[in-house]
Chains A and B, each alone.
Chain A
Amino acid sequence: MKNRRSEERRLTVSVACLMVVGSFAFAHGVQHRVFPGGTGVEATYDDGSPMAFCDVTVVAPGDQGNEHQTGTTDPHGRFAFIPDTNGIWNLSVDDGMGHLVTAEVQIGPNALVGSRPDTRVGRLTGGIVGVSVIFGLFGIYCLCRQNVAQTKRTGGEGESGCTSPKA
């Protein structure tokens, strides 16, 4: 009988201890603080419309293949994050429909932020250059074919600018 009471007491004390420890363990409050800054990118399509609500993946410097952070662009195609180390951060924005843009954000000792320069040419200039190159390429191909055909007809005696010269 005495032993039984002793066991009950021990059990009661143990449960009480567990409850106290448990209450400490779950006693995490939450709070917030507002801080300025951060680094961001703005992703747009070539016509200037924003890549809104697209998936963003952030990869930290020297940690290729591992995602540091993922998220979604806002309605204006913008996404911001807080880099915690210096180096080149890689951000990719993917709309899930075959359009993906990658940006390299350089975080230096002086928090300099840079990105890859835009190498696109103007539409009018590019259009003129493109059409000229297309006609040039097909023209060269046509000349090559004619030269090859002529060489075949003359048994290799004729001049050919596109075939290898015969010894």
Chain B
Amino acid sequence: MRLSPDAIIFWQHGFFKLNATIVFTWGLMLVLAIGSKIITRRLSTDLNRSPWQNLLEILVTGIEKQIEEVGLRQPQKYIGFLGTLFLFVAAAALCTVIPGYEPPTGSLSTTTALALCVFIAVPFFGIEEQGVGSYLTSYVKPTFIMLPFNIISELSRTLALAVRLFGNMMSGAMIIGILLTIMPFIFPIIMTALGLLTGMVQAYIFSILAAVYIAAATRVRKPKPEPEAKE
């Protein structure tokens, strides 16, 4: 039984290979980039605007609002990373309605790659915001004893991110596949709709968790100077 689209290999040359995951990812990238390009080609700055522009504005402002609610004060700085995470995962889930499509997020390699990106992005934004020393000392808070636990926490949450998304996406496809063999009418459609919902929820969870991690990394030390300033 095929668990991942990684197994569908179109072309291979030694270490390099072209599997369904990469191909579908490229497809999604093309759709997202070209769609954005087409819609944003003629943006209006006055009160009258096209429905597509409205859609994109709602998306962007919605994402920014979510990021802000998590606690990141400059959403414009993080929307490139967090927004793309959400859009990519959501688009990958939405496209499951297309027959023959395999969501790239149903591959553990993709979710691992995304989780690794988050794993790198958290210290990246943390250091950018607080500086290296300040960021690194956050690992020995509240005491030095906590250092291994903090490191384990970092690793485990990355692993959790990857496995959670993979599990959900893969299971969705899997359940539909199994159901099709048992009861090929109507029920798979309901399950597909449910799968779409699950996909959207996963996209939201993934990006929100990433945002929370980044927020935690960027404002660990923030509250401290305030009382000093008051004194």
> Do A and B interact with each other, yes or no?
no
